[in-house]
Structure 1
Amino acid sequence: MAVDTAGHARTHLDLKSAQLPVVAVMLKTTDAAAAAADLAGRAADDPDFFDNDPVLIDLTAVREEGGTIDFTALVQALRMHRTQPVAVRGGSPAQMEAARAAGLAEAPEAAPARAQPPREGAVREVIREVEVVREVPVAAPAPATVLVDKPLRSGQQVYARGADLVVMAVVSFGAEVIADGNIHVYAPLRGRAIAGARGDTSARIFSTCLEPQLVSVAGIYRTTETELPDNVRGKPAQVRLEGEKLLIEPL
């Protein structure tokens, strides 16, 4: 009896490439205690910013500094704020060796940034010693405008890479809308709105009912801890940058 041995053997797993959202923590100091304090402050401003995200620690900005980094303390601080640090990149040979000794994997260097078109969407929120970048991969190129006509509930996120974003329904508290260009919300805006995510300082946020949890343009942001003036709160308004100052004006 003939036996066919040319077929593929059955296996119990497959190996495939995967692209996952990741939070890059870009250190601006070798002082782990100072970085931990800034993370605590960032978490206090927006407790829901982290949600057990995998974290990549980027050492590019401190590569040339001579101080040692206490990676054990840094990893502990990150885990306290609902993140999962897994890798490190961009450091000096001594820094990378110390990171590996702390159980962190070595990630490849970031590809050089290009002005046009943007390759990866990112939301930048800069704090004193740590820069947090949430990278949100998108499978297909975005059109000039992304249109959303359904309500966005808490925990949902929409990102318009290289495009403006138009939302025709309510953006609920805890939801997040992100665009490399402008954001238009023709309904109550109660969640987080981040325009100019790739650094476009001319981007704006428009809403027919401005009640946001957070607004940001090109990395300059404002939270609800600073109450909006009566002439824009719950009314048609726009958010724009003037220099490095965030302006909120009635429409």
Structure 2
Amino acid sequence: MPTDSQKSSLSHLALEFKSSTFSVPVLVLFSNSLQNIEQQLQEKVALAPEFFKNSPILLDLQELNKRDLDIAVADLVKAIKALNLLPIGIRGGNAEQNRQALALGIPVHASHGAPTSESTKIKTIAAAPEESLQSEGPSTLLITQPVRSGQRIYAHGDLIVLATVSSGTEIMAEGNIHVYGSLRGRALAGVQGNEKARIFCSDLQAELISIAGVYKVSEDLSKEFQQKPVQIYLQDNSLIIKEI
């Protein structure tokens, strides 16, 4: 049993630090052209505006510095914020870039920290004008555990979730999305413009559904499809929902 002094101490406890895993999108830069970066980011954001709105983002400058390409951190941060993205740190910066980041109140992360899981990482690449965007080959990502609130998952091909997708989550796929549990979060298929992508779920309770940038929020979803197995696809630029 705790003593009276321990009880008093606990009653005044205001906070506690806990270890946790927090995944955010990583913006890997290959060009120091702000114009080129802004243009390509605008194109990415336009494909899934609800997903990227007010999204935290980590800026990776490692590739820039490997190529001896300098960039003003203040100008980069300003451009990122203009697109409603929220820089929460940089990594791979040189001493001057790290100093600039800290002056802006942006933390500096070690370049060789624990790797981010591919199941929760989004890599956005700003290529130089003469370069082509390199695509990671399509693949199917299988998730067997529940997707919990605050998590984000990105698949370069199809995404299959064998469990529940909780409220406050966001799942994205360049291909189709299959959810065999309840879909309560946000689901965005065909995020690179694939209009043939579909969403399949066993229990529709989504906050948002989107295919190739065309989306509906929960208020727009007919009650006749709520909590039922459905498929969702794009037809004549409109989202069609049908029971399975």
- Per the normalisation by structure 1, the TM-score is 0.51
Q: In structure 2, the residue corresponding to 1:41 is in which secondary structure?
A: helix
User: What CA distance in whole angstroms lies between the structure 2 residues aligned with 1:22 and 1:8?
Assistant: 38
The residue number in structure 1 matching 2:40 is: 38
What is the one-letter code of the residue matched to 1:121? T
Shift of the alpha carbon at 1:119?
6.5
- Structure 2 contact 164–183 (Cα < 8 Å) conserved: no
Output aligned runs, 1:59-74, within 5 Å. Answer: 59-74=61-76
Does the C-alpha gap of structure 1 residues 112 and 34 become closer, same or farther in structure 2, counting only changes over 3 Å? same
Shift of the alpha carbon at 1:43?
2.3
- Structure 1 contact 87–104 (Cα < 8 Å) conserved: yes
Shift of the alpha carbon at 1:88?
0.3
User: What CA distance in whole angstroms lies between the structure 1 residues aligned with 2:111 and 2:103?
Assistant: 19
Shift of the alpha carbon at 1:87?
0.7
Gaps of 5+ in 1: 132-139, 194-207, 214-223, 228-232, 235-251
Q: Indicate whether 1:147 and 2:162 are aligned.
A: yes
Shift of the alpha carbon at 1:113?
5.8
User: What CA distance in whole angstroms lies between the structure 2 residues aligned with 1:157 and 1:19?
Assistant: 16
User: What CA distance in whole angstroms lies between the structure 1 residues aligned with 2:111 and 2:76?
Assistant: 20
Does the C-alpha gap of structure 1 residues 125 and 95 become closer, same or farther in structure 2, counting only changes over 3 Å? closer
User: What CA distance in whole angstroms lies between the structure 2 residues aligned with 1:113 and 1:12?
Assistant: 32
Gaps of 5+ in 2: 135-142, 147-159, 191-197, 213-229
Aligned partner of 2:233 among 188, 211, 218: 211
The residue number in structure 2 matching 1:176 is: 188
The residue number in structure 1 matching 2:170 is: 157
Does the C-alpha gap of structure 1 residues 65 and 170 become closer, same or farther in structure 2, counting only changes over 3 Å? same
What is the one-letter code of the residue matched to 1:157? E
Normalized per residue, the structure richer in helix is 2
Aligned partner of 1:109 among 108, 111, 115: 111
Shift of the alpha carbon at 1:75?
1.1
- Per the normalisation by structure 2, the TM-score is 0.52
The residue number in structure 2 matching 1:122 is: 121
Kindly tell me the number of residue pairs found equivalent between the two proteins: 184
Q: In structure 2, the residue corresponding to 1:99 is in which secondary structure?
A: helix
User: What CA distance in whole angstroms lies between the structure 1 residues aligned with 2:20 and 2:114?
Assistant: 21
User: What CA distance in whole angstroms lies between the structure 1 residues aligned with 2:4 and 2:164?
Assistant: 55
Does the C-alpha gap of structure 1 residues 34 and 185 become closer, same or farther in structure 2, counting only changes over 3 Å? same
Does the C-alpha gap of structure 1 residues 148 and 18 become closer, same or farther in structure 2, counting only changes over 3 Å? closer
The residue number in structure 2 matching 1:27 is: 29
User: What CA distance in whole angstroms lies between the structure 1 residues aligned with 2:59 and 2:81?
Assistant: 13
Shift of the alpha carbon at 1:79?
1.3
- Structure 2 contact 74–100 (Cα < 8 Å) conserved: no
- Structure 1 contact 157–177 (Cα < 8 Å) conserved: no
What is the one-letter code of the residue matched to 2:233? E
What is the one-letter code of the residue matched to 1:58? D
Does the C-alpha gap of structure 1 residues 82 and 24 become closer, same or farther in structure 2, counting only changes over 3 Å? same
User: What CA distance in whole angstroms lies between the structure 1 residues aligned with 2:162 and 2:41?
Assistant: 34
- Structure 1 contact 147–165 (Cα < 8 Å) conserved: no
Aligned-residue identity in percent: 21
What is the one-letter code of the residue matched to 2:210? G
What is the one-letter code of the residue matched to 1:61? E
Aligned partner of 1:85 among 84, 87, 104: 87
Does the C-alpha gap of structure 1 residues 60 and 141 become closer, same or farther in structure 2, counting only changes over 3 Å? farther
Shift of the alpha carbon at 1:125?
5.4
The residue number in structure 2 matching 1:52 is: 54
Aligned partner of 2:200 among 170, 185, 194: 185
Listed one character per residue, the Cα deviations across residues 6-55 of structure 1 (whole Å, up to 9, x for unaligned) are 77733322222233341211111122332122212222333223121221
- Structure 2 contact 161–181 (Cα < 8 Å) conserved: no
